[in-house]
């Protein structure tokens, strides 16, 4: 049985928040300073990774159609990886938009 490799690009999400558990319980009044990568740079890397996965899937699909690809499973796996990554990025985007809308609807 082959192992499924992790989706690349999401390994940097562990240190993005910048707030510790104790800070979250006490109510943080301002953003905390971290030495980690910013959320925008992590998200940009994920989008770049998604673009690469889609390019690979498209290239392998063209090779499969033209008969240049000997193993059709490569094209199927590449297409599935691109699809799952797209769904994940879309879900993260939707949660971000929902959070933004919730913040905008708060009253002072």
Domain ranges in the chain are 38-108
pLDDT of 52 = 94
Q: Which two tokens mark 28?
A: 């943080």
Who contacts 12 (Cβ-Cβ below 8 Å, separation ≥6)? 36, 37, 42, 45
Look at 41 and 14; give whichever has higher pLDDT: 41
pLDDT of 77 = 95
The mean of the pLDDT values for the chain is 78
pLDDT of 80 = 96
pTM of the full predicted structure?
A: 0.60
């Amino acid at each position: 049985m082959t192992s499924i490799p992790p989706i690349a690009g999401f390994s940097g999400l562990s240190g993005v928040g910048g707030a510790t558990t104790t800070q979250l319980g006490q109510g943080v009044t301002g953003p905390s300073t971290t030495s980690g990568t910013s959320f925008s740079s992590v998200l940009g890397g994920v989008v770049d990774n998604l673009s690469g996965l889609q390019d690979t899937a498209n290239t392998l699909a063209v090779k499969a159609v033209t008969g240049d690809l000997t193993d059709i499973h490569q094209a199927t796996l590449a297409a599935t990886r691109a699809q799952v990554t797209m769904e994940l990025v879309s879900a993260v985007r939707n949660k971000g938009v929902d959070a933004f809308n919730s913040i905008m609807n708060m009253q002072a």
